[in-house]
Amino acid sequence: MGANGQIPPQQYVFTTAKSTADEINVVMEFVCRGRKLGIKCCLVALDIAGDFNNAWHPGILARL
């Protein structure tokens, strides 16, 4: 959540009416816009699938 307690518009996971395809389109638009402007960009992807299942839930809840 953002500083104001709302979900930021950049979040696509667990968000109604947003899909992986929408997120890919946003990234592609960003890259294309940067290339047109001659700006170099880099994408770092982190796959954390399954990590929530292995997380220590009492610790997460304590920090929330």
The residue written with tokens 């968000």 in the block is 15
pLDDT given at position 19: 84
Residue 49, CB-side half-sphere exposure with 13 Å CA sphere? 2
The 10s digit of each residue's pLDDT in 14-58 is: 778 888 888 889 999 999 999 999 998 888 877 777 777 778 888
pLDDT given at position 1: 60
Q: Which two tokens stand for residue 59?
A: 């610790």
Q: How many Cβ atoms from other residues are within 10 Å of residue 19's Cβ?
A: 10
pLDDT given at position 36: 95
How many whole angstroms separate alpha carbon 56 and alpha carbon 54?
7
Q: Does 2 score more than 70 pLDDT? A: no
How many whole angstroms separate alpha carbon 35 and alpha carbon 28?
10
